[in-house]
Structures are given as structure tokens and as C-alpha cells.
Amino acid sequence: MGDASFVPGPIFDTHAHYTSADFDADRDALLASLPAKGVSGICEQATSSGDAAACVAMAHRYDFIYAAIGIHPESLLPADTCPPGQLAPTITKYHGDWRAELDDLMPYFSDPKVVAIGECGLDHHWPVPAEAQLALFEAEIRLSLALDKPIIVHDREAHAEVYALLKKYRPKGIVHCYSGSAEDAAWLTAQGLYLGFGGACTWQGAHRAAKAIAAAPLGQLVLETDCPYMAPQPCRGQRCDSSMIAYVGETVAALKGVTPSEIFQITDANARRAFQIK
Ligand SMILES: [Zn+2]
């Protein structure tokens, strides 16, 4: 990384949130600068009907950007749990009727740049209503099977319930920001799922992620940011962007005993296979 002429890549960031207000000041300049920094692909993640249109518009503006459309469990956070400005339209517009919101999102799935259902899953870190998020996630898994598109799984402190549904339905897709054990990494990948790793695996003390990366086949690993969050070392705490995956690739390469260049080639190919794109 010390050589200024060296450009890492191809970097395929399978999980980004560039519609975040953190990018309002320089979004287009930043996105336009990424290919020269080795970024070959990005899958931009919607969290509800609130950002879905902007995700799809971004995917149309840039060849290398694709979109995942879905409803994130945090979009179900009720009015008494977060400031009014942070409430999703799932609550403010649909009054918790996620089925109606999902129906309204359906036209997006016939768009060729919409390659996945997501971001969806289960979250027990925040006070998301348990029954509603379980029903929503199950509906999104069934949608992924019906549409034959991969699902992007958010699993925060919800391993048992997430894994039970993944075992039951066996969808295609990516378990984003994988935080499970090495044992679970083995069967999830054997079932055909991809595991996404980002900045967190570069942080000091990330032994669990290191074991999971070691246990997963190279052909089932993908790299991601979850930007603007989760910047890797040595950028931890800064606003993250896809070019910083260069550091994640170095960490994963060291754990797998291959070169960073091989990791970028392999994970770029894995991402394209996972999203069924060229
Ligand atoms: Zn995300």
C-alpha cells in the first residue's frame, strides 16, 4: 500500500449505503473517483421504500453500481424508540404495514440493475418488535425464492432465529457482516451461502471473524464495507468508502495464506456469481 502507483483490486463491495446523508456533500465526486482506486463493483443496499428509489437511480447512473431492494428490520423501529427524523416510512407512511410497503417495492425487482433482496434480516440489538421482524424476514426470504434473486442477510444478535430460517428455506445469498462461529460458517457455506466480511475483521481482537474466515471456502467469501460505517484499520472511526476494502483484502489474504491480489480477484468473481451478473 506504500507504493502510490499500486492500485489494489478488483474490489467488489457487496454492501454499501451511499444514499446515507453522510455522503450528501460529495457523493457523486466520491463515487466517480472509486474505479480509479480499484473498485470494480458495488451493491448499494436499500433499507425501506425511503431510500429504494435513490438506490436504483444510483445504480442507473453508474455502470459498476447495482442495487438490493428490501426492508431492513430497523425500519420497523416504533415511534417511541427513536427520534421522529430517524423513523422509516415503514412506520411514518405505512404505519407498520410492511406487507403494503413490500407490495409497493415490487416494481423495482423487474429492473435489471436490482440484483438482490435486501437489506433484510433480524436485529435484537435494537428494540425492533420481535414478531413483526420475524414475519417480515420470512416474507423477504420467500420473495427471494419466488424471484430467484439472492437475499442480503442482516443478523445482529439473532443467530439462532436467522439460521433456523436459512436452514428451512435454503435461499441463495450473502450473510452480511458475518459474526457467527467457524462451525456455522462451515454449514452456511456448504448450503451455498456467501459470507460477507468488512472492516470489523481488521480490528484488533477480531479472533472470531478470523476463525470464520479460516473455516469458510475461498469461493464463498465476499468483501464489503457497510459504508459509511465500519471503516477498517487504519481508518477506523472515519467515514468509510469502498476503496478502504483494500485493507480488508490484506487481512483476509493473510488469514487464507494467499496474496491480496488473489483475494480481490476471487472475491470479485464470487460477488458476480452471487449476484448473477457478469
Ligand atoms: Zn447495511
Query: Is 80 exceeded by the pLDDT of residue 197?
Result: yes
Span between the terminal Cα atoms of the chain, in Å: 28
Query: Grid coordinates standing for 183?
Result: 462451525
- Reduced to 3 states, what is the DSSP secondary structure of residue 177? coil
Q: According to the model, what pLDDT value does residue 4 have?
A: 55
Q: According to the model, what pLDDT value does residue 96 have?
A: 95
pLDDT in tens, 242-251: 999 999 999 9
Compute the distance from residue 175 Cα to the ligand 1 centre, in Å. Answer: 11
Compute the distance from residue 120 Cα to the ligand 1 centre, in Å. Answer: 9
Q: Using omega within 30 degrees of 0 as the cis cutoff, is the peptide bond preceding 183 cis?
A: no
Write out the H or E segment, with its range, that includes residue 212: helix 207-215
Compute the distance from residue 15 Cα to the ligand 1 centre, in Å. Answer: 6
Q: According to the model, what pLDDT value does residue 224 have?
A: 98
Q: In one letter, which amino acid is 81?
A: T
Query: Is 90 exceeded by the pLDDT of residue 5?
Result: no
Gap between the Cα atoms of 170 and 192, Å rounded: 8
Compute the distance from residue 119 Cα to the ligand 1 centre, in Å. Answer: 6
Compute the distance from residue 181 Cα to the ligand 1 centre, in Å. Answer: 20
**Inter-residue contact 173 to 153 (CB < 8 Å):** yes
pLDDT in tens, 142-175: 999 999 999 999 999 999 999 999 999 999 999 9
Which residues hold their Cβ within 5 A of ligand 1, which is an ion? 119, 226
Compute the distance from residue 161 Cα to the ligand 1 centre, in Å. Answer: 19
Q: According to the model, what pLDDT value does residue 267 have?
A: 98
Lowest mean pLDDT among 23-32, 79-88, 169-178, 250-259: 79-88
Of the candidates 201, 221, 211, 226, the one whose C-alpha atom is nearest the C-alpha of residue 264 is 221
pLDDT in tens, 48-102: 999 999 999 999 999 999 999 999 999 999 989 988 888 999 999 999 999 999 9
Gap between the Cα atoms of 163 and 173, Å rounded: 13
Query: Is 70 exceeded by the pLDDT of residue 24?
Result: yes
Gap between the Cα atoms of 98 and 89, Å rounded: 10
Q: According to the model, what pLDDT value does residue 6 have?
A: 75
Q: According to the model, what pLDDT value does residue 83 have?
A: 83
Compute the distance from residue 45 Cα to the ligand 1 centre, in Å. Answer: 6
- Reduced to 3 states, what is the DSSP secondary structure of residue 7? coil
Burial of 127 (0-12, 13-18, 19+ CB in 10 A): middle
Gap between the Cα atoms of 254 and 243, Å rounded: 19
**Inter-residue contact 88 to 75 (CB < 8 Å):** yes
The chain-wide mean pLDDT, for the chain, equals 96
Percent of the chain with pLDDT over 70: 98
Query: Is 90 exceeded by the pLDDT of residue 137?
Result: yes
Gap between the Cα atoms of 224 and 70, Å rounded: 18
Compute the distance from residue 2 Cα to the ligand 1 centre, in Å. Answer: 30
Compute the distance from residue 203 Cα to the ligand 1 centre, in Å. Answer: 18
Compute the distance from residue 132 Cα to the ligand 1 centre, in Å. Answer: 19
- Reduced to 3 states, what is the DSSP secondary structure of residue 44? strand
Percent of the chain with pLDDT over 90: 93
Query: Is 90 exceeded by the pLDDT of residue 2?
Result: no
Q: CA 225, 227, 232, 238: dihedral to nearest 10 degrees? A: 170
pTM: 0.96
Q: According to the model, what pLDDT value does residue 278 have?
A: 83
Compute the distance from residue 182 Cα to the ligand 1 centre, in Å. Answer: 22
**What does the pLDDT average to over 172-181?**
97
